[in-house]
Amino acid sequence: MLRFQSGQAEAFEPLYSRYRGALYRYFARQVSRGNVDDLFQEAWLRVIRGKSQYRPDAAFGAYLYRIAHNVLIDHYRKESHVSRPAAEKSIDPADPGIGPEDAYARQALRASFVAALETLPTEQREAYLLHEEAGLTLEQIAAVIGTGRETIKSRIRYAVTHLKAALDREPQTVGRRA
């Protein structure tokens, strides 16, 4: 990011490649399919336009998700409601190199996960995704969302409990998959 910040445009591409998938899924798990592309693009454009604001004292991942969180909040305000992802709208490509049964099972697990995530309160879902998908620490998540570490820990605890219970009710349960 520092190289990109200093004017080396080519330094952006590896940065983008590294974070694009996780950031896209961060949005995909929280908003409706029709909004994912726009929010994803908006987040990156804010990174690009505001590159001079980046300070190396923060990890780029935390910085990126801070921007993404703000994009999400702006979206919620604009929509005046929380748009949820639809479980039936799979946006995953087909799994390569696995048999039809495994592919079906994996697809079913994804659908179960998406459905379970959908029922989570917004704050818990975002905290969980920042933990699971973005790989941020509790401290980083707290900084991204702008709340305390213990609050984040509590949100993740509730989310995990809820997800585990939801997945246990499904045929592709946690204990029987993977």
Partner 1 sequence: MKERRNGDLPAGVDEVSAAYRAARFQDTPPPHIDAQILAAAKRVGPRRANQYLPPLALAATVVLALGIVLRLALPGPGERESVGSAGLRSAPVADELGAPMLMQESAGTAAADSLTAPAAAARSVQPSEALPSADVAACTPAQRDGPEQWLACIALQLNGDALDRARTEYAEFTRTYPDYPVPAEIAARIGR
Where on the chain is the footprint of partner 1 (CB under 8 A)?
4, 6-10, 12-13, 16, 20-22, 24-25, 28-29, 37, 40-41, 44-45, 48-49, 51-52, 61, 91-93, 95, 106, 109-110, 113, 131-138, 153, 156-157, 160-161, 163-164, 167, 173-175, 177-178
Whichever of 77 and 93 has its CB closer to partner 1, that residue is: 93
Whichever of 77 and 115 has its CB closer to partner 1, that residue is: 115
Integer Cα distance of 52 and 47 in angstroms: 9
Inter-residue contact 71 to 115 (CB < 8 Å): no
Least separation in angstroms between residue 139's CB and partner 1 is: 9
Least separation in angstroms between residue 165's CB and partner 1 is: 10
| HSE-CB for 118 with a 13 A CA cutoff | 17
* DSSP per-residue letters across 16-44: HHHHHHHHHHHHHTTS-HHHHHHHHHHHH
Least separation in angstroms between residue 70's CB and partner 1 is: 17
Whichever of 58 and 138 has its CB closer to partner 1, that residue is: 138
Least separation in angstroms between residue 175's CB and partner 1 is: 8
Whichever of 77 and 107 has its CB closer to partner 1, that residue is: 107
**Residues contacting 177, CB < 8 A, separation 6+:** 105, 109
Cβ atoms within 10 A of the Cβ of 77, count?
A: 8
Integer Cα distance of 111 and 99 in angstroms: 18
The tokens describing 84, both together, are 């949820």
Least separation in angstroms between residue 80's CB and partner 1 is: 26
Whichever of 48 and 73 has its CB closer to partner 1, that residue is: 48
